[in-house]
Amino acid sequence: MAEPHAKTLSDMPAPVLDVVMKEVDLKTVQSVRKVCSNLRNHADSIQLDAKILKAYVYIQSSEKISLELKTADSLFEISYYKDGNDVLVDHDGQKRVENQDIANCAGQDLGSILKNQKSIVRAISLILPQIYAGEVVTDFLTKMSDALESRKSKLMLKYFSWTGHINEDQILSILEKLDPGTINKIDLTNSSGVQMTCNINRIVNTDQWKKAKVVETLGFIAETPMSNFYKFRNAHFRIENVNVDEILTVRQSALKNANFKEFHFSYENFIDESQFLDRFGKQHKIFKRKNKCWFYKFPMNDNALVVTWKENRIRFLRVEPKNFEKFLVPEDKLVVL
């Protein structure tokens, strides 16, 4: 009498697989996805909240992509290597995914997780040096964007970080899929090493940008009006042109904002610089300070607004009384506007 065929996970009917898959953790699901195409497709179809807190993506080259996924209890590090027409996935041992493109494989894996994520994600960081990775970046983002687009509601995320080429289409393909109501911080960094001017007008007009509280745009000159940065409690950026009226508006906005912390920018052209000192007010002469300084009192508390100007950089900073000595704030000479 022949021995009965041993049942494997792939032999289980779909309803049973649903029950099993919803009870296992993210690590197990990702391992199951590498067994065969049937299990991969089934794992992608179930509604599993992976409860990811942070996700980091690093496209190191056209032949290697790294994912780092953090939950409350675990850290999962997954590396993808191009191997001919296949992909080698390194995660608790190495598995081969046959006839699969590396960008599609990694993008589909992350997309399948984010597609069903119900809880809020603290941070997603994308490090995508397109100058080295070429089409891999585009293909990866397409898979990730498609997964986010298929969600019933926008992904809840607090912190969105982009490091790579400042391409509005690529950035918007992800940014616009995020819930504007949960976004707290947006970071955009040009990683090419070449200072360039980038038009970000479509980005600053999104609800996600308008509802964020903190923003940084580094490594490039933002080609957009200064007014698109006024409302942030914390901003750090480089802009092409600035004028005295805009700087006066920043001062006014900061003093009226109870949550204001810091507004730090550099500029390429100061259009009416010759009028600045006359219109902004007399600077304070502070020993040990080489830059020009102004000190104002916040109307709602005893904090000081410290304004410094050095070369082509201007910084507005809130300072609490306990730090007055550290920042050389003359407590008895704070200007009230």
SS (H, E, C) 195-208: CEEEECHHHHCCHH
Report the percent of the chain where pLDDT is more than 70. Answer: 83
Report the percent of the chain where pLDDT is more than 90. Answer: 66
Same domain, 55 and 32: no
Using alpha carbons, list the distances in angstroms from residue 187 to 125, 161, 222, 257: 9, 5, 13, 22
Same domain, 33 and 94: no
Q: How does residue 45 score in pLDDT terms, banded at 50, 70 and 90?
A: low
pLDDT at 11 (0 to 100): 45
pLDDT at 59 (0 to 100): 94
Residue at 264 is within a domain: yes
Q: How does residue 116 score in pLDDT terms, banded at 50, 70 and 90?
A: confident
pLDDT at 95 over 80: yes
pLDDT at 34 (0 to 100): 54
Same domain, 185 and 97: yes
Q: What angle do CA 81, 60, 222 make, to 5 degrees?
A: 150
Same domain, 99 and 209: yes
Residue at 3 is within a domain: no
The total of structural domains in the chain comes to: 3
Look-up of token digits 């992350």: 110
pLDDT at 92 (0 to 100): 77
Same domain, 143 and 20: no
Count helices and strands in the chain by DSSP H and E runs:
11, 16
pLDDT at 275 (0 to 100): 94
Domain that holds residue 105: 49-224
Q: What is the pLDDT of residues 206-222, one digit of tens each?
A: 999 999 999 999 999 99
Same domain, 84 and 145: yes
pLDDT at 8 (0 to 100): 43
Q: What is the pTM of this model?
A: 0.84
Residue at 229 is within a domain: no
Which has more confidence, 194 or 150? 150
3-state secondary structure of 209: helix
Question: Which is nearest to 137 in space by CA: 197, 62, 53, 70?
Answer: 62
**pLDDT mean over 304-324:** 96
Q: How does residue 91 score in pLDDT terms, banded at 50, 70 and 90?
A: confident
Q: What is the pLDDT of residues 13-28, one digit of tens each?
A: 444 344 445 544 555 5
Residue at 1 is within a domain: no
Residue at 232 is within a domain: no
Same domain, 30 and 153: no
Separation of alpha carbons 210 and 103, rounded Å: 31
Residue at 231 is within a domain: no
Separation of alpha carbons 282 and 285, rounded Å: 9
Same domain, 189 and 311: no
Same domain, 32 and 70: no
Residue at 145 is within a domain: yes
Q: Report the chain's mean pLDDT, rounded to a whole number.
A: 86
Same domain, 61 and 39: no
Same domain, 196 and 275: no
Do the beta carbons of residue 231 and residue 205 sit within 8 Å? no
Residue 46 structure tokens? 């179930």
Same domain, 71 and 23: no
pLDDT at 217 (0 to 100): 97
Residue at 240 is within a domain: no
Q: How does residue 193 score in pLDDT terms, banded at 50, 70 and 90?
A: confident
